[in-house]
Structure 1
Amino acid sequence: MTIARAPAKVNLTLHVTGQRDDGYHLLDSLVVFADVADVISASLADDLALSVSGPFAQGVPTDERNLILRAARLLAEARAVSAGAVLHLEKTLPHAAGIGSGSSDAAASLRLLADLWQVPPLTPDDPAVARLGADVPVCLAGPAPQRMTGIGDRVAPVAALPPCALVLVRPPVAVPTGPVFQGLATKHGTPMADLPDGPDFAHFAAWLTRQRNDLQTPSVNIAPVIGEVIDRLQSYDGVAVAAMSGSGATCFGLVADLGTAEAVAARLALARPDWWVAAGRVL
């Protein structure tokens, strides 16, 4: 049996810089991965099959609607693999939450199955990878921090970030992506500023406060509880920056170390047991 972790993808910034004629939006985003993850295991078999367990297993399909199976079939076709695999997903990350858990599962499965089947892995710039979903290329390029541009199909590593950690919080709401983009004040915002060279935590946090997630305001308009989460995170000592990841509804609090993240997460989970709360290092 082979095992892989699929870490949470967090958009620390998300600038919407344009829109193509086909409707796809152009983005500029700093993406990091937190040490909070789904776990996928695989064993050789004659065909492909998927089972799911864990706290967020409910509602996760086990047929071709699942990106894991679609990624498996893509790799098998690209590498002329005749073998199959029995896959199991331990779903500990919430889905449809702005942290790319399905995309991270797909990317982890591509790596896992390439190892299991002993074939060359697909690369993040392979056009077929982008067709799986806009976040799959950056998840395949991770877990090192990446700058994601284009429609999500262009990814490039960034210089090392200072050691830091995240508190991740998702209130029990779903934010539909379509209405969020429709609520943008402008679809032609300025790009993300270049990262400073070799920043310490204080300088990195200061830089981050000057960037944006353009989807945050329309998401808060749809689900005001997101604003409540951000305000609550900002109220805790040690949280340098609080904002929303992706199109929501998961929000993050950036802190200097895992100990601070765990302390904030413990207090927040006690205060709001109806919210999903997790702490993890930035990988």
Structure 2
Amino acid sequence: MLALTEDGRAKVNLTLRVVGRRVDGYHDLESVVAFADCADRLSLADGPELRLTTTGPLAEACGETVDNLVFKAAQLLGDRVADLRLGEFTLDKVLPVAAGIGGGSADAAAALRLLARANGLAIDDTRLLEVAQLTGADVPVCLASRACVMTGVGETLLPLTLPKMPCVLVNPRIPVATKDVFRALGLRNGELLVGASDVIRAPAWPEAGSSVEDWVEMLAASSNDLEAPATRIQPVIGDVISALSATNGAWLVRMSGSGATCFAIFENTADAQRAAQKIQLNHPQWWVHAGLLS
């Protein structure tokens, strides 16, 4: 087998509504998800056993190999597919970890796509989808790696057609644990944040062919319910939002996921590039990416 490669693209939650907390402790969410043009790169080569090597500028942040979601996903799939052909993974890590952009989930999803290719499995194989859900809440959406409305605990995906949105992503290089943010949100098991009428009034998102401006207008009417509790845990998130809001041409500024990465959507790529340069100059310790969401 020649080495196969897949990108693990950054996931961005353009909106994130917490519907409530189930009696089993999991949170029901509703989120418009897009994907950015920045990504980790994962490759798979022949090898006698399952191995994972991490390289790249953020390799040290990945922690122990046995705790990596790539490893977990591969092992879970091996439990379900007889004689699964595994091998040696190499992860080029460029996305910040514990950052609200699904870096580890995107890597695990890339591993599942690689194993599917290496073993002749269809991408909609039920075993693949089951493993994605078991590996982590964001893995199913990252497996598809396309814009959608994500509901439930991440297992229900409704595809969307987004225009290419010029954006800037900024992470202050301070990890934020998702479990801590949900704990700070403070919902009890079985508690709902929205009623039936709120669900009925769920927005009808713009149709295919709609402009960035149309989308921003709709997105601005929503929010990220985790932004406030995450900012209480890490006040630097407020600094990131302020820095993005202070740039010229930022149409919408918001936190992604459980933080601390925040994003801004711009009218054009030139404004996005200038904004990224300004923020990088003023905050050289921050991770900054200018590109496109789609």
TM-score (norm 1): 0.93
Q: 1:104 — aligned with what?
A: 106
Q: 1:218 — aligned with what?
A: 229
Deviations 1:197-221 (A, max 9, x none): 2421112111111101000011111
Q: 1:20 — aligned with what?
A: 22
Deviation at 1:123, TM superposition (A): 4.8
| Most deviating of 81-90 and 185-194 | 185-194
Please give the secondary structure, in 2, of the residue aligned with 1:107: helix
Deviation at 1:71, TM superposition (A): 1.4
Distance 1:46 1:233, change over 3 A: same
Q: 2:49 — aligned with what?
A: 47
Deviations 1:117-150 (A, max 9, x none): 33333558833321100000011122x2011100
Deviation at 1:234, TM superposition (A): 1.2
Partner Cα separation in structure 2 for residue 194 and residue 69 of structure 1: 38
Letter in 2 for 1:81: D
Partner Cα separation in structure 2 for residue 123 and residue 218 of structure 1: 37
Letter in 2 for 1:153: E
**Higher helix proportion:** 2
Indicate the RMSD between aligned Cα atoms, in angstroms.
Answer: 1.9
Q: 2:151 — aligned with what?
A: 149
- Is 1:236 matched up with 2:239? no
Question: Tell me, which stretches of 5 or more residues in structure 2 are unaligned?
Answer: none
Partner Cα separation in structure 2 for residue 2 and residue 162 of structure 1: 29
Contact 1:27 1:148 (C-alpha < 8 Å) held by counterparts: yes
Contact 2:15 2:222 (C-alpha < 8 Å) held by counterparts: yes
- Is 1:202 matched up with 2:213? yes
Distance 1:121 1:78, change over 3 A: farther
Please give the secondary structure, in 2, of the residue aligned with 1:64: helix
* Identical residues among aligned pairs (%): 40
Q: 2:6 — aligned with what?
A: 4
TM-score (norm 2): 0.89
Deviations 1:39-84 (A, max 9, x none): 1111112211100011111131453311111212233333323432
- Is 1:169 matched up with 2:170? yes
1:227 to 238, 241, 261: 238
Partner Cα separation in structure 1 for residue 77 and residue 123 of structure 2: 8
Partner Cα separation in structure 2 for residue 82 and residue 10 of structure 1: 32
